[in-house]
A and B are shown apart, each in its own frame.
Chain A
């Protein structure tokens, strides 16, 4: 095959990749973009989720003080887990269990311990993530087919990136001389826009598509009962080490501060961003958070009666493969370094959505038109070359210029 006709073929492949499901692809991109900042959107909409310090030098309460404050305000409420969101302007998320059997998240002020409100019944964050992640298709046996449907899009997206760079000859020149022509009609504008935003989001498209392909592989591995995990089976507290009490009252547990202290002794640099209380008499207190590597959480299981560390899951316990695969999700969502990283992901998410849209606009304005023309011509001369080639030639040279 000649060099020229090969580039034509690449171009044709690139032109047809997102089609004919472009609208589906667009909505997946838009919902993903929204999901990145879903927590922030809820924060804006819901004042109860905000943590305003009473004064500039107000100290944060310890988790024990938080539990004591909740116990005082609502003696019947049981705390299951406390998490401290990444950004300090968020209230603590506390998972609680009510006597009426409801399990909900409440927002607790980290300075005062005041329960500021209950998470709304409509969980916007959960909803956008479910819509983007598995198209709301329920998980019944293993992964939902919606998950496969969405994550499969990683493949055409990766192919779009590769073919796009192949047909856009000497694309690196676009970095030095950015072109965005406004006054030459919509077709030229969208073409420039598509190329310009394309080269500036090479890294982002690569990250999103590769991590999506990983999600596809992950589901396929899981559904075929193939495990790459080196994580040991979670231990239980030995029957002997759970004390019996004479009066039949629950055995006393160590304080959360003590548990956090033990965990930090064992894992230097551990942030105590989440503490889970034991889920029954034989399970552990779990302390987890990041340390120097922002993409992966480390955790320690602490015996709630003795304070002994029963198990840890450290960065160094993970295989090289796990370090890579467990970094995939935060890389995909941009949730690993606070608001600024999220805003970068959000911005490039918007750009990516616009690329789907501009790609379609170019396609309708060029490919469809060219196909129609070619069909008209082939009508007159039945044995002409493949449809739409003349238009492609023009485009290919225009791109290479």
Chain B
């Protein structure tokens, strides 16, 4: 081998490739090993073994009712598809209001009417989720509005500052600040 190299000098890249080509296997096999903790953490998160979400926001009073709110992931909004950046929240209804609440909605900014209450929560009263679109130009002092609708037609609203609902989203907005 050495003689050949002496006769026909190889480029450093070619030499590197010939020396290390089979080590790619080891690297490739380390990939799933490296991601395994994340895989199991995610599986537990989806099952709800580790709570409502990665970061509990706390109990929010909405008129006579209340709900426990959590950030699904303790991170900024993610873009997946044409809808733009989405931030996922999870919620659980209070024990006494479980049978009274027909629907729960989330929106950034105060809704003008029930028909524009925002995104609806999917799931059961024990654990439901909603993905709120977060436009990149959202103001950092924006509020997250929760609208709850009763089976009897009643409607109640409450809001919390976005900074309290999701510090990670605020950090993400600040980082987007440079963009037009």
Contact = CB atoms under 8 A, between A and B. Distances in A.
Interface of A: 19-24, 27, 78, 80, 97-104, 121, 123, 126-127, 130-131, 135-138, 140-142, 146, 149, 225, 239, 242, 244-251, 279-283, 375, 378-379, 382
A97 B24 contact: no
A138 B38 contact: yes
Nearest to B150: A248
Nearest to B75: A140
Given A24-B29, A138-B38, 9 more contacts: A102-B47, A103-B124, A104-B47, A126-B43, A135-B28, A138-B35, A225-B82, A244-B153, A280-B123
Interface string B125-147: 11110000000000000000000
Interface in B28-47: 28-29, 31-32, 35-36, 38-39, 42-44, 46-47
A100 B125 CA distance: 11
6 contacts: A19-B21, A103-B47, A103-B127, A141-B78, A242-B102, A250-B102
B152 A23 contact: no
B162 interface: no
B22 interface: yes
A138 B128 CA distance: 22
A225 B150 CA distance: 38
A101 B78 contact: no
A280 B119 CA distance: 12
A282 B128 CA distance: 14
B165 interface: no
Contacts of B79: 141
A140 B78 contact: yes
B48 interface: yes
Nearest to A248: B152
Contacts of B102: 242, 250, 281
B103 interface: yes
Contacts of B21: 19-20
**Which 10 residue pairs across A and B have the least CB separation, nearest first?**
A97-B124, A248-B152, A23-B25, A102-B48, A20-B21, A136-B35, A279-B122, A136-B32, A24-B28, A101-B127
B52 to A, nearest CB: 5
Contacts of B168: none
Contacts of B150: 248
Contact of B151 (A135, A138, A250): A250
A142 B29 contact: no
Contacts of B4: 375, 378-379
Interface in B65-116: 78-82, 92, 99-100, 102-103, 115
A246 B115 CA distance: 21
Contact of A121 (B7, B28, B49, B152): B49
A249 B150 CA distance: 9
A20 B24 CA distance: 8
Contacts of B31: 135-137, 146, 149
B179 interface: no
Interface string B44-64: 101111011000000000000
Contacts of B103: 280-282
B120 interface: yes
A140 B80 CA distance: 8
B81 A225 contact: yes
Contacts of A146: 31-32, 35
Contacts of A141: 78-80
Contact of B3 (A246, A280, A379): A379
Most chain B beta-carbon contacts within 10 A, residue among A27, A101, A141, A247: A101
A280 B154 CA distance: 17
A136 to B, nearest CB: 4
B30 to A, nearest CB: 11
Contacts of A242: 102
B1 interface: yes
Given A103-B48, A136-B36, A245-B152, A98 B25 contact: no
B24 A138 contact: no
Given A244-B151, A245-B151, A282 B126 contact: no
Contacts of B43: 123, 126
Contact of A102 (B25, B29, B49, B78): B49
A135 B27 CA distance: 12
A142 B86 CA distance: 13
Contacts of B46: 103
A382 B7 contact: yes
